[in-house]
Amino acid sequence: MITSQEKTFERKSELIEAALDEFNRKTFSEASLNTIIKQAGISKGTFYYHFENKEALYLFLLNHAFNAKWEFIQEKTGQNPEILEQKDFFEKIKSQARLSLEFALAYPKYYQLGRMFSSEKDQEIYKTAQGMLGKSSESLINELISAAINNGSIREDIPIDFIQKVLGHFLLHFNEIFNFPEDGELEKMIANLNQFVDFLKHGLSR
C-alpha cells in the first residue's frame, strides 16, 4: 500500500522516471529497488519516508499511469464532444479505445508499463494491483453500459449484471488477449481493436 507519507518531494519526477525505466525492462520480481533509488539520485531514507517498499512504489506507478491515461482521455473527449454524443455503445467504445492508443503513442513508457504488467498475470502482484485498479476501471465501464441500456443501444432483455460482467471482463483484459510482439504495432493495434469491438457487438453469427 502507498503510505500516508507519500506526497510531493524533491526529485519525485526523477524517481518516477527511474522506476518506469526499471519496471519497463524487468518483471516486478526482477526489478531492483536499489537501482531505481540510485538512478533517481535520492537516498534510501528519502525513499522509505515516502514509500513502504518496492511494491508500494509499483502500485503507485500503476495508479499514476492509470490516472494520467484517463485525464488524457477526458481532455481529448472534451475537445471532441461528438464522442460523448455517440449513441451506439460500441462505436463509443471504439472512440475511447482509439484515444487510449493515442495515449500509448504520446506516453510510450506508460504503455510499456501496461504491457509489462500484463505479463505478470500469474504473479501475486498482478492480483494485488488488479484489486486496486480493477474497481476504478469497472466503475467506468459500468457507467458506459448503464447509459447504453438507458438509451436503447444495448439489448434490455439480458440482465445488466450479466452484461457488466461479460463486457467488463473482455474490455479489461484486451491487452492480455493481444499481447504478442506484432500486436504492439499501431496499425495492428487499431485492426485488433476494431475487430475486437465488432466481435463483441455482432458475435460469430452470419
Q: What is the pTM of this model?
A: 0.71
Cell of 115: 504491457
Residues 159, 92 contacting (CB under 8 angstroms): no
- The series of mean pLDDT values per 10 residues for the chain, 206 residues long, is 49 93 96 96 93 96 90 82 69 80 88 87 89 70 80 82 83 72 71 86 81
pLDDT tens, residue by residue, 155-196: 888 888 888 888 878 877 776 777 666 666 767 778 888 888
Please state, in angstroms and rounded to a whole number, the distance separating the CA atoms of residues 110 and 107: 6
Please state, in angstroms and rounded to a whole number, the distance separating the CA atoms of residues 41 and 57: 16
Cell of 184: 504492439
Longest dimension (CA), the chain: 63
